[in-house]
Amino acid sequence: MTLIPALQHYVDRLPLEEFEQSDWVTLHADLVSYLAEFLIRRYGASWEVADDPDGPVGYQYVIEATGFDGVVRRVDPFAVVAGEFQELPVEVVRMLATAEYALGLTVVVE
């Protein structure tokens, strides 16, 4: 949690409009790593291998956690980060919240 402001500051200062493909790949990997580590440390989540018959290798890496309701869910951290790239500027808190929501790790107030 304490790294969120520093990571956001880092991302905010990146010249995204000048990025080449290799820069996006590196940023994607960096953010996936942070997202996964955050979920693992905060919620006891874990990396798992999920069948993906439509994928190029037949499987994909996902993060699995037990939601507050006791249901085990999985989220693709690569997809969460890729989705964040579609909604620039990158918002670290929004990225984390997206994954938490998908895993049932948030309380929905009605």
Residue with token string 């995204």: 16
Instruction: State the first-to-last Cα distance of the chain, in angstroms, to the nearest integer.
Output: 26
**93 in a domain, yes or no?**
yes
**108 in a domain, yes or no?**
no
Rounded to 5 degrees, what are φ and ψ at 35?
-60, -50
Q: What range does the domain containing 36 cover?
A: 4-102
**107 in a domain, yes or no?**
no
Percentage above 70 pLDDT, the chain: 99
**109 in a domain, yes or no?**
no
**12 in a domain, yes or no?**
yes
**74 in a domain, yes or no?**
yes
Rg of the chain over Cα atoms, rounded to whole angstroms, equals 15
How many domains are contained in the chain?
1
Measured CA to CA, the distance from residue 91 to residue 60 in angstroms comes to 25
Which residue(s) pair with 47 in the sheet?
Answer: 63
**50 in a domain, yes or no?**
yes
SS3 93: helix
pLDDT digits (tens, 9 = 90+) for 58-93: 999 999 999 999 999 999 999 999 999 999 999 999
**110 in a domain, yes or no?**
no
